[in-house]
Amino acid sequence: MDLLNKFNYLKLKSEFNDDNKPYRYVVIDDFFKKEIANELFNNYPANDSKEWYKFRDKIGNLKNVLEQGMYGISDSKHIPKFWNKTISNLNSFEFCKVLERITGVLDVLPDTYNKIGQWTGLRVMKEGSYQLIHSDARLHPHLEKEKKLTIVGYLNKDWKESDSGYLEIWNNEMTECIEKIEPLFNRVVLFENTETSYHGVPEVNGYRNSFLLSYLKDTDDFQETRPKALFVKRPYEKDEKLIDKIAKARANLTDY
C-alpha cells in the first residue's frame, strides 16, 4: 500500500506469534511512510476542537473510576478529510491481507459499520486521564461478528518519559504487567482480542494522541456474547469494590 513503509513480514509474524506473550501482539515502528505520518500529524484535530466528544464521566450517578479524561471523534463527518481517506485505506480488503501476512489470522474483515467502524476513530487522553486494565468487547453489537484484531496507533512527537501514557500489557492472571509500550510517533500496536487480552493506560501526564481500528471474523461457532469491554483490577488497585461495581454497571449499558 502507498501509505505504509515496507515491512519484514516474517519478523513481524514471528513477534506477533511469540508464545512467551500472554496474548498475541506486535509493536510496529515507522508504520506509515514519513510524509504520510507527518500529514496525519498536521491534520490531527486540535486538542480544544469542538469536534471531540468526552467519554463517560459517570456511570449512573457514580464517578466512572474505570476511565477519565478521554476524548474521541468517531463520526466520519467530523474527521478531517485526509484522516478519512487514510482510514478508508486501512479498512480496505487490501489492508486486511496485510494483516493476514503479519498475524497469520485468515479471513479478517474490515469493520465498516457507520462508514468507518464501531470501534474506529481518533482519540485524545489529556493530562490526568487514565483507562484501567481491560479486555475489549468480543462481539460486534450490530454485525454479530467476532472482534478479532485491534490496531492502536500513536502520533505523539517529542514524547518524553515524564509524559507517561504507556500502554500496559498484563498477564492472564492479572498478577504482573508484562510490558509497558511507549506511545511514540508513527508507532502502531496490533493485537489479538481474546477473553483475557488485558491492556490499558493507567496514567497520562501529557496529551496522548492516538487512533483506533478494529477487524472482524465471520466465525459461525463463535460463542462469546460480550459486546462491552471487561475491566479488571490490578493487584494494588484502590477502591476495589467500587471498581467492581462500576465495571458491572458499565458492562450492562445498552448504548454503544
Mean of pLDDT values over 17-44: 98
Q: Confirm whether pTM is higher than 0.85.
A: yes
Amino acid at 43: N
Alpha-carbon distance 183 to 190, whole Å? 13
By DSSP bridging, strand 208-217 and strand 121-135 are antiparallel
Q: Where are the alpha helices (DSSP H) in 31-175?
A: 34-42, 81-90, 93-103
Confidence of residue 113 (pLDDT cuts 50, 70, 90): confident
pLDDT band at 222 (very low <50, low <70, confident <90, very high): low
Query: Cα(84)–Cα(77) distance, rounded to whole angstroms?
Result: 9
* pLDDT value of residue 36: 98
Domains and CATH numbers, the chain: 9-251 (2.60.120.620)
Mean pLDDT of 116-140: 92
Confidence band of 256 (pLDDT split at 50, 70, 90): low
Q: Provide the Cα torsion 242, 243, 246, 251; round to 10°.
A: -150
pLDDT in tens, 173-193: 999 999 999 999 999 999 999
Q: Which of 97-101, 138-142, 192-196 has the lowest mean pLDDT?
A: 138-142
pLDDT at 77: 93
| pLDDT score of 34 | 97
Grade residue 115 by pLDDT with cuts at 50, 70 and 90: low
Strands 25-28 and 230-231: unpaired
Q: Tens digits of per-residue pLDDT, 31-80?
A: 999 999 999 999 999 988 999 999 988 998 889 999 999 999 999 999 99
Give the rounded percent of residues in the chain with a pLDDT score beyond 70.
96
Q: Could you please report the per-residue DSSP string of 192-242? A: E--TT--EEE--BSS-EEEEEEEEEE--TT------S-EE---TT-SSHHH
